[in-house]
Chains A and B, each alone.
Chain A
């Protein structure tokens, strides 16, 4: 079996792509320097955004397919990568939080970890997000990186997400008053200590991993699409060229990406706050809506909440979060061009655009009330040792299962 991604990429002619990619990285560097001149936080978030976008694109790391393919294909490859990222995150966040809040008998929470009020809004938000991400063919981070690869449907999905977040913002005050304001924040270390919380999290992730391996074998054998070449490089320069090929041209193994994403999240948490961005995207929607007089007005309670809670459009438009999101898009774009994987891909059938838009709106609404998406309310929330992360995850799974049935009917 020949597989795309044989280690020696020297046979592929990519000079034009390599030049454009190099130009993209030079632009990224210039943006970094200019941003640093304004605010060092802008530059740091730009760099993290680039890194996240690069890794997501190189591994085609998609949270939506991680959940969906378990049901659709009996295939848990992407979810295993997610589990590793969660485990790395839990270890890193756990260590950092144990230093931030050494005494867990006090009712105080780490100031930036994604420990959010948990309740019906978390469950419904997760359910809606799970359905929406399967309909749209990608979650928010997935859509962002695919926008960089040239997928037109992902741009449509992203617009849908913006619309859904705006709708969510318009109903936020009701959710706050009736559910969220009185919902508890459950941080596992308060209950079982730092070590206990980390160990419990890792054990749960391990049990899920074992269940997935069993599930995959129940569905049939698993074949890797990747040929492992036994070629021994002829010399150092061939060796280095092969390694460069593995990083910039061939697809990354999903476990490597999962580990790296988890590690990057830990670094970002240590430097500032966990990875997450739907709050930022809501700011864009609300800003646009304000221009046409459709602003949702003040959002109750958001000032006291961490994570990706929606934010009003007041104030300066250029913030560090803007750089994070734009960095993700640009990092993916540069990665795709370098690998020869940038291509404008437009669905031929009109129904796909409807799916992408509709799925995006549903995702946007869900991430508004759950205060985060597969990143903020899941990939950063479980490592935050917060119960809301697990509740969101369970309902993501349920939503993905429902969505999988739906897309098979739309085929």
Chain B
């Protein structure tokens, strides 16, 4: 899994670089891990990732630091 470290980046580069990286992922890649310290990213990335077919999980990894785990949406299985 590729890691994208955008800590310290100014707005809107955390979001822009994440979307660019997502678009570059190949079918074999499980997903993308993004390290950010920019809170607005948490509001925008879930939508951008979902439009590209990914799910986003957000984990707080430190004081004002977050780790976004962006993985491909699993196909829904009827239970």
B42 interface residue (CB < 8 Å to A): yes
Q: How far is the CB of A161 from chain B (nearest CB, A)?
A: 15
Closest A residue to B55 using CB positions: A1
Known: A73-B44, A407-B12. A223 touches B50 (CB 8 A): yes
Closest A residue to B65 using CB positions: A343
B45 interface residue (CB < 8 Å to A): yes
Among B8, B56, B64, contact of A342 (Cβ-Cβ < 8 Å): B64
Among A2, A17, A75, A355, contact of B59 (Cβ-Cβ < 8 Å): A2
A64 interface residue (CB < 8 Å to B): yes
Q: How far is the CB of A66 from chain B (nearest CB, A)?
A: 11
Task: Name the interface residues of B36-65: CB closer than 8 Å to any CB of A.
Answer: 37-40, 42-48, 50-51, 55-60, 63-65
Closest A residue to B56 using CB positions: A1
A219 interface residue (CB < 8 Å to B): yes
A15 interface residue (CB < 8 Å to B): no
Known: A4-B42, A220-B51. A72 touches B9 (CB 8 A): no
Known: A4-B58, A219-B51, A221-B51. A341 touches B64 (CB 8 A): yes
Compute how far the CA of A3 lies from the CA of B71 in the bound complex, rounded to whole angstroms. 15
A125 interface residue (CB < 8 Å to B): no
Q: How far is the CB of B49 from chain A (nearest CB, A)?
A: 8
A107 interface residue (CB < 8 Å to B): no
Asked if A411 contacts B17 (CB within 8 A), the reply is yes
B-facing mask of A70-86, CB < 8 A → 1, else 0? 00110101000000000
Compute how far the CA of A223 lies from the CA of B65 in the bound complex, rounded to whole angstroms. 21
Asked if A2 contacts B12 (CB within 8 A), the reply is no
Task: Name the interface residues of A8-65: CB closer than 8 Å to any CB of B.
Answer: 12, 17, 60, 62, 64-65
Task: Name the interface residues of B1-60: CB closer than 8 Å to any CB of A.
Answer: 7-13, 15-17, 19-20, 37-40, 42-48, 50-51, 55-60
Known: A2-B58, A68-B12. A343 touches B47 (CB 8 A): no
Query: A231-239, A317-325, A346-354: which one contacts chain B?
Result: A346-354
Asked if A343 contacts B63 (CB within 8 A), the reply is yes
Among A77, A224, A347, contact of B9 (Cβ-Cβ < 8 Å): A347
Asked if B40 contacts A62 (CB within 8 A), the reply is yes
A293 interface residue (CB < 8 Å to B): no
Residues of chain A within 8 A (CB-CB) of B11 are: 62, 64-65, 137-138
Among B17, B45, B60, B63, contact of A225 (Cβ-Cβ < 8 Å): B45
Residues of chain A within 8 A (CB-CB) of B16 are: 72, 407-408, 411
Residues of chain A within 8 A (CB-CB) of B12 are: 65, 68-69, 72-73, 137, 407
Residues of chain A within 8 A (CB-CB) of B39 are: 4, 60, 251, 341
Compute how far the CA of A356 lies from the CA of B11 in the bound complex, rounded to whole angstroms. 10
Compute how far the CA of A326 lies from the CA of B40 in the bound complex, rounded to whole angstroms. 24
Asked if B46 contacts A153 (CB within 8 A), the reply is no
Residues of chain A within 8 A (CB-CB) of B40 are: 60, 62, 65
Compute how far the CA of A345 lies from the CA of B37 in the bound complex, rounded to whole angstroms. 8
Compute how far the CA of A80 lies from the CA of B63 in the bound complex, rounded to whole angstroms. 29
Compute how far the CA of A411 lies from the CA of B14 in the bound complex, rounded to whole angstroms. 11
Task: Name the interface residues of A342-394: CB closer than 8 Å to any CB of B.
Answer: 342-343, 345-348, 352, 355-356
Asked if B57 contacts A345 (CB within 8 A), the reply is no
Residues of chain B within 8 A (CB-CB) of A340 are: 63-64
Compute how far the CA of A60 lies from the CA of B64 in the bound complex, rounded to whole angstroms. 13
Residues of chain B within 8 A (CB-CB) of A77 are: 43-44
Residues of chain A within 8 A (CB-CB) of B64 are: 340-343
Residues of chain B within 8 A (CB-CB) of A210 are: none
Asked if B46 contacts A352 (CB within 8 A), the reply is no
Q: How far is the CB of B76 from chain A (nearest CB, A)?
A: 15
Q: How far is the CB of A214 from chain B (nearest CB, A)?
A: 16
Q: How far is the CB of A345 from chain B (nearest CB, A)?
A: 5
Compute how far the CA of A348 lies from the CA of B45 in the bound complex, rounded to whole angstroms. 22
Instruction: List, sorted by A's number, 10 A–B pairs whose CB atoms are closer than 8 Å.
Output: A2-B58, A2-B59, A62-B40, A72-B15, A73-B48, A137-B11, A138-B11, A221-B47, A225-B47, A345-B38
For the A-B complex with A340-B64, A348-B8 known, give 6 more contacts whose Cβ atoms are closer than 8 Å: A137-B12, A138-B11, A224-B46, A254-B43, A341-B64, A346-B8
8 smallest beta-carbon distances between A and B, as pairs? A220-B51, A137-B10, A137-B11, A343-B64, A225-B46, A223-B50, A153-B10, A223-B46
